[in-house]
Structure 1
Amino acid sequence: MRIYKKGDIVDIKGMGTVQKGMPHKCYHGKTGRVYNVTQHAVGIVVNKQVKGKILAKRINVRIEHIKHSKSRDRKGDIVDIKGMGTVQKGMPHKCYHGKTGRVYNVTQHAVGIIVNKQVKGKILAKRINVRIEHIKHSKSRDSFLKRVKENDQKKKEAKEKGTWVQLKRQPAPPREAHFVRTNGKEPELLEPIPYEFMA
C-alpha cells in the first residue's frame, strides 16, 4: 500500500478494477496536490477549467486510483512484497507474498524484483515483475542504519575525549552474584530419586 503525505504531488488515474472512490472522468490523467489523508482515500486539490476559468477543486479519491508523480522506487531498494486484493493486475504469486527482495528494474507502473525462492534443496534468485501497489519499502535495514549513525556519533565523541569506546554489540552478561532471601523458610534440597533395582 502506497504511503501519501500532505503536500505530495500525485497523478490521478482511474483503475477499472476498483469501482469504489473512482474519480470523475474529467480528472483522469490530471496531477494534483494531497491536502488530506484518510485510511483508504486521500483528498486532492486539482485544477479544473470551467467556462474559461481555472478553479482549484477538492476531490476525494481512493488510493488505488492515484500514484506518486515520480516513482519512489529506485534500483537497489529493498522492498516487501504484499499482494493487494483490490488490484488484480500485476499481482505476485502466492509463494512470493510476504517476502523481501531487491529492486533491479523500474518501469512506469511496475518494478522488477530479485527475490529468493526455495526449490527443493536449493535457493534460487528469481526475477519477478510486480505492480507498485503490491510492494512497500522494507524496514529491515532501519535498525542497522540507526546503529551506524549512533556508532559514528560515539566514535566522534570518543575521539574528542581521547578515549576508547566499545562499538560491538555484546551478549547479555550472566547474572552477578547475589543473595537469595528465604524469608524464614527452610531451604529444600531437590535431587533426583536414586535408582533402585526392582527384581
Structure 2
Amino acid sequence: MKKHYFILLFSFLSLNLAFMSNSIFDGVSWNYETTARNINLYIKETPLYEDNFYKAETIIDKFDGETLFNNLLKFNSYPSIFPKTIVFKPIKSIDKNKFLTYTQINFFPYKTRDYYIETEYSVNYYDKDKKIYIFEWKPTEDKINETNLDSKCVRVNKVFGRWMIKELDDGKVSISIEYHHNFKVDVSKKLREYFEKANTVDAIENLIKFTAKNK
C-alpha cells in the first residue's frame, strides 16, 4: 500500500513540474483520505459554508492512456459511462479543442441539475514519448448560462473538473479526476461530503468499467 501511495505521489509531483496550466486545481494541497477499490481519494477541506476539493487517483496496466482518453471524449456515451449524466453535449466551438458544453445531471429525488461549462482537452509530452492526456472544464461566462433556463432543472454555476491520464513506465497508466463544485443541494455539508467522496471514486471506476466493455 505504501509503495502504491508513493508511486502516485511521485507521479503527481513530476506531472506538476512537466505541465503547468491555469487550472483551479493547480497548487491545491491534497490530503490523503482513504483507499477504496484500489483508488486513492484525496480531499482539500474548506470552511463550513464553502465547497471542498476532491481528487481520486489510481494506477492501472490494463489499458493504454490513449484508449482511456478516447473514451472520455465519447460525449454521446456519457450516460453509459457515468450513470447520473443525462446530457453532456458540446454546443459551440470556442477555440481549438475548446467548447461550450451543456450538461444535465440526475439528482433524484431532487430536481435535475443543469449547467453550461467550457470544456477543453489536450495531449502533452512530458518525457520523450510519454504523454499526459487532459480533459477539464470550468464555468462559462457566456450569457446563455443566465438566459436559457429550463424550468424542470436547477441551474448551477460553480462546476469545475479535470481528468488527467498519464503514461508511466512498464505500460502503466495513472488516472486522476478532480472536482470542485456546488450543485445547490440543501443538505448538511457532512452529508454532501459523503456523496461527493463516493462520486469522485465512482468516476474513475466507471471509466475503467466502460473501457473494459468496449475495448
Name the TM-score class by shorter chain.
Answer: under 0.3
TM-score for the superposition, normalised by structure 2: 0.20
More strand by share: 2
Q: Using structure 1 for the length normalisation, give the TM-score.
A: 0.21
The structure with the largest alpha-carbon Rg is 1
